[in-house]
Amino acid sequence: MAVGELKILGNAPDFTANDSEGRKITLYDYTNKKNIVLVFNRGFW
């Protein structure tokens, strides 16, 4: 497995991203509080 590669059903590293309203959120903020689904889309909408 390559460095930084994610496993299905594995733990994701903490990261910060913008939500749909532009606010910064981190994965850590939701860990053990909510179910989390990460979706990576390639391409354009």
CA 36, distance to chain mean position in Å, is: 8
Read off the pLDDT of residues 18-34 as tens digits, 9 standing for 90 and up: 888 999 999 888 888 87
- Per-residue pLDDT at 13: 82
Query: Contact 16/24 with Cβ under 8 angstroms?
Result: yes
Is position 20 within any domain? Answer: yes
Is position 3 within any domain? Answer: no
Is position 43 within any domain? Answer: no
- Per-residue pLDDT at 24: 94
Is position 45 within any domain? Answer: no
Total domains in the fold of the chain = 1
d(CA 31, CA 34): 7
Mean of per-residue pLDDT scores for the chain: 79
Task: Give 27: exposed, middle or buried? Use CB within 10 Å, 0-12, 13-18, 19+.
Answer: middle
Provide the residue range defining the domain that includes 25. Answer: 14-38
pLDDT at 41 over 80: no
- Per-residue pLDDT at 23: 92
Is position 18 within any domain? Answer: yes
Instruction: Tell me the HSE value of 31 on the side-chain side, using a 13 A CA sphere.
Output: 10
| 0.75 exceeded by pTM | no
